[in-house]
Amino acid sequence: MSVALGSTRPLSVTTTPVDDPGDLFARLPETAPYAWVRHGEGLVAWGEAIRLAVPPGPRRFDWARDRLSDLFGEAHVDDDVTAPGSGPVAFGSFTFDPEAPGSVLVVPRTILARRDGRAWLTTVGERRLDAVTPLRTPGRIRYGDGSLTAPEWEHAVARAVRRIRSGHLEKTVLARDLTAVAERPIDVRLLLARLADRYPECYTFSCAGLVGATPELLVRRTGETIESLVLAGTIPRGADQADDVARGTTLFTSEKNRHEHACAVASVREALDPLCAELKIPEEPELLVLSNVQHLASPVSGRLSDGASVLDVVAAMHPTAAVGGTPTEAALGVIRELEGMDRAGYAGPVGWIDARGDGEWGIALRCAQIEGSRARLFAGCGIMGDSDPASELAEAQAKLRVMQYALEG
């Protein structure tokens, strides 16, 4: 079963209601925390009862769904809450590239959740007391180039633009990475707390060292209902309110950004149509205003027709045009050729699934991979035929500042 921790004996899972825990992040011990929180609601977890290394390949989501179905189906579950996220839950992070190793599913030993005025605690096996220690700052941060320098990345953007203009594809997405080294080991809890405070509209997440605050909900499944949020088209925030409004108008009327957004919406529609009895997508996008950037956004909702689990929907949707491009295979070919790096979990699905097949998954954006005192930061931009390399670099730097803020405070 590719189990690194725990045993192959059936899991014993207990979920009980608890009083409002207050700040969820304040309850986390330092070691290997897991999280999925927005506006103070969601799930935090710690400890590992089971860790599954998901084999690379085109059927990795099927493998994950089937393994978890077996694992949860055999579990002894006492659930007094029976809400999405109660009972046994697995957190997961999948690599962007299906052929890349590193996708993982973890069933934590302890999960603390709050949603819609209710709170609950889930334990797997014996309940353990885990000491909550004070948050630690990482000290001075030194940054360095990632796989490409800024000029090299601008050159890659220019090459991608030439490919698009020659008719090979409509859009691709190029990502950048940045390295960071801290004086002391990085406390993931501190990053989570800073991100949640500064970006409450985003989904603050932590899974297997991948930490971030993504604005993009790939899919939420609650029973037969699904929701998604398509984001494509970005502009930095203005210097003041008037500048901010002007920039929002520029974004909303930009032919380049509207076309980029339309490509992303079309890819989501194509992925969800076969799975849904009903699907609602607005005709016009709206503006999503975050503390650092503005996005074109289209909320999507639907009703599943065949009882698919949230992982089935994730499999159908990944990669969206928002993080891959259009058409998909041509765009992925350009990414592999020009990015010069392994994205690992960046722009891959991250989230959680319970035994009912409910769950929430986002696209791992505005994130970093943390290992000890080192971090690898990621950001990406949609590249179209009229993209300007310098402007795209500025956009990527604005997105990288999310995790730089989390590290520096």
* Catalytic residue from among 154, 170, 171, 260: 171
Angstrom distance (rounded) from CA 364 to CA 260: 19
Under 8 Å between Cβ of 7 and 49 = no
Distance of CA 311 to the CA centre of its chain: 14
The pair of structure tokens assigned to 205 is 């997440």
Place of tokens 């694992």: 71
Spatial distance between the Cα atoms of 396 and 294, rounded to a whole number of angstroms: 13
Kindly list the distances between the CA atom of residue 281 and the CA atoms of 28, 149, 258, 308, in Å, as whole numbers in the listed order.
38, 39, 15, 20
Of 147, 235, 238, 178, the C-alpha closest to 404 is 178
392 tagged catalytic: no
Which tokens is 40 given?
A: 């103070």
d(C-alpha 291, C-alpha 249), whole Å: 17
**For residue 37, what are its two tokens?**
């929180």
Q: Which stretches of 201-348 are assigned E, i.e. beta strand?
A: 203-207, 210-214, 217-222, 225-236, 276-280, 286-289, 293-304, 325-326
Catalytic member of 30, 170, 216, 395: 216
Query: What is the DSSP code (8-state) at residue 360?
Result: E
Query: How far, in Å, CA of 349 to CA of 94, rounded?
Result: 5
E strands, 39-147, where?
A: 41-46, 50-53, 76-79, 89-93, 104-107, 110-115, 118-124, 141-145
Query: Active-site residue 201, yes or no?
Result: no
Other CB atoms within 10 A of residue 284 CB: 9
The closest of 43, 22, 39 to 361, measured between CA atoms, is 43
For the chain, the farthest-separated pair of C-alpha atoms sits apart, in whole angstroms, at 62
* 300 vs 263: CA distance, rounded Å: 15
365: left (phi over 0), alpha (psi -120 to 50) or beta: beta
Helix (H, G, I), strand (E, B) or coil at 224: coil
Catalytic positions are 171, 216
